[in-house]
Amino acid sequence: MWNKLRRGFAMVLLSMAAGVLVWAFVPAKRQVMMATLSPADMQLKPDGGGNSPAILGSRLVMVEWPSVMRIADRYWMELDFSQLDDGLSLTEQPAGFSDAYEDYNLMAEARFEVAGIRVEPSNPTRESMPRGQSLKFKWQLTTNQPGSYDCTLWLSLRFLPLDGKAPSQQPVYVQKVRLTTTRLVGMSAPVARWTGGVGALLGIVLLFGDMIGWFRRSKHTLRIH
């Protein structure tokens, strides 16, 4: 009777531990959002005269983030800002635009805003943007509370005149993102991993004698055959 109870308890314990470990270790699915920016989207707003300085040639913005975040685990939000090969040569210019690189040094600035989630780096990140160069921005995300969080992702271009005048900044992409965080029966991911590991080890210990007996019987059967 005791052996049946022990085996039954061990199997239930192993099953529960396996479920907890799966929840704690399986990587979160990633969500992806893409948008194409045209020269009109990446122009310095006109001051009333002449063509508008703009980055010529379309660019692709791709945002990637975790669909669900486990409490106390680290995740990444990524933004790729890349040149599209749309066949635009340096001598071709869309009507109404001038090549911003002729009069400006350009930088891209990305900022990720959310309350209730720890974001690193927390300040806006700036990167120099030579012609045709692709950029990637990354933020590390962690949280200690479950729930849904509304976030805002900003991408701006910073135009620095070559003649030393004051720089200008122009937002070119603003996107709302919702992050969802969760825990398992009140447990964070590290606690769930520890609990699942201990449960699995205890289940194996309870079944250790049965496993040794099964191994010996199998070995004996193989010798007979």
> Is the residue at 131 inside a domain?
yes
Same-domain pairing of 121 and 212? no
> Is the residue at 187 inside a domain?
no
- Average pLDDT value for the chain: 86
88 or 22: which leads in pLDDT: 22
Distance CA 120, CA 112 (A): 9
Same-domain pairing of 145 and 216? no
Strand 69-70 to strand 125-128: parallel, antiparallel, or no bridges (unpaired)? Answer: unpaired
Same-domain pairing of 7 and 96? no
Same-domain pairing of 170 and 197? no
> Is the residue at 34 inside a domain?
yes
Same-domain pairing of 203 and 130? no
pLDDT-above-70 percentage for the chain: 84
Average pLDDT over residues 21-49: 88
Complete DSSP assignment for 38-100? -GGGGBPPP-SSSPEEE--S-EEEEEEEESSEETT--EEEEEEEEE------TT---TTEEEG
Same-domain pairing of 108 and 36? yes
Same-domain pairing of 135 and 205? no
- pLDDT at position 200 over 50: yes
So what's the pLDDT on residue 186?
Answer: 87
- pLDDT at position 157 over 60: yes
Same-domain pairing of 43 and 60? yes
Confidence band, pLDDT 50/70/90 cuts, at residue 213: low
224 or 169: which leads in pLDDT: 169
- pLDDT at position 87 over 50: no
- pLDDT at position 3 over 60: yes
- Look up the pTM and report it: 0.82
So what's the pLDDT on residue 211?
Answer: 61
- pLDDT at position 8 over 80: no
So what's the pLDDT on residue 49?
Answer: 58
pLDDT digits (tens, 9 = 90+) for 126-148: 999 998 889 999 999 999 999 99
> Is the residue at 215 inside a domain?
yes
- CATH of residue 96's domain is 2.60.40.10
Domain count for the chain, please give it. 2
Distance CA 91, CA 60 (A): 22
- pLDDT at position 161 over 70: yes
165 or 8: which leads in pLDDT: 165
- pLDDT at position 50 over 90: no
Same-domain pairing of 116 and 200? no
Q: Residue 205's domain spans which residues?
A: 2-20+192-224
112 or 222: which leads in pLDDT: 112
